[in-house]
Amino acid sequence: MLVLEDLSKSFGNYRAVDQLSFTINKGKIMGLIGQNGAGKTTTFRLILNFLQADEGEIWWNGHKLSTKEYNTIGYLPEERGLYPRVTIYDQLIYFARLRGKTKKEIAPKIDEWMERFQVKGKKTDKVKTLSKGNQQKVQLIATLIHEPELVILDEPFSGLDPVNAELLKKGIMELKEKGSCVIFSSHNMDNVEKICDQLIMLSNGAAVLNGEVQEIRESFGRTTVFLESSLTKEELEEITGVKNVAKKDQGYLEIQLDDPEVGETIFSKATANGYIPMFSQQPPTLEEIFKMKAGGGYE
């Protein structure tokens, strides 16, 4: 279990992380989101002791995180770094040995991990001969092959196509099933919504959202209705509390409400003559919440 207590870090007059607290339990995945410059990477660097906190504590399994635990951490930085003239095999052995593993422990696992991430190439190939996507996969394997208990991934989906992004999601879920704590940053809210148990949203270094993903969504109210019925756009716009009605290409209407209780009125009117193909009342998506909280500065 990873616990951050009132963590703060300033650079001169700039407060990069401001009284940040959160807990990640074993076998849980946390998404860390926020605009560029919100404090995500600084938070990771504080956990990894690349930077010293001005205030606060970091705890791991009931004691202060110390250097003896760093071999149990897997870290994927946003800026990737591999040795282009070194083979995949030698590179993975080298990084694993930095984490306290032996060649005997890691060598038998390399083929399995390359197959799991569908790396196109042989383990004797030099990294510079691989495509950018396959280089990213090798870096991911280097991060995970020692089976860390705490995994920190800084923008891991950046540059991955949908197929490779799914492979990464599968790898993250396997770590969760084995009991690892996983924390990752992402600008892709769909990834966060699909695989995270909880999330933290940072703004100017401080947490403005902190909790389970569905609880956060529900806290904003079920203000969106997806409707397919005989009601027209014009009829719906006349209902008090309906803020906006948009007709979608798929044939249904998306209705934004000022008050979630208006959904009952819409449902009653839509079903007055019986069956309708679609009625779904939902809270805003994480992407919509991100845009609300970030003031439209989503990237």
3 state DSSP class of 268? helix
2-213: CATH number: 3.40.50.300
pLDDT digits (tens, 9 = 90+) for 150-203: 999 998 888 788 888 888 888 888 889 989 999 999 888 888 888 999 999 999
Which of 48, 32, 37 has the alpha carbon at shortest distance from 11? 37
pLDDT over 90 (residue 5): yes
pLDDT digits (tens, 9 = 90+) for 156-166: 888 788 888 88
User: What is the reported pLDDT for 295?
Assistant: 62
pLDDT digits (tens, 9 = 90+) for 202-224: 999 999 999 999 999 999 999 99
User: What is the reported pLDDT for 298?
Assistant: 38
Torsion of CA 37, 42, 43, 46, to 10 degrees: -170
On average, the pLDDT of the chain sits at 91
As a whole number, mean pLDDT of residues 134-152 equals 90
Residues 221-282, CATH architecture: 2-Layer Sandwich (3.30)
Which of 41, 31, 42, 38 has the alpha carbon at shortest distance from 8? 42
User: What is the reported pLDDT for 299?
Assistant: 38
Query: With bands split at pLDDT 50, 70 and 90, how would you rate the model's confidence at 297?
Result: very low
What's the pTM value of the predicted model, to 2 decimals? 0.82
User: What is the reported pLDDT for 296?
Assistant: 46
User: Domain segments of the chain: what residues?
Assistant: 2-213, 221-282
Q: Rounded to whole angstroms, what are the CA distances from 178 to 82, 107, 153, 171, 175?
A: 27, 21, 17, 11, 5
Whole-angstrom distance, CA of residue 32 vs CA of residue 29 = 10
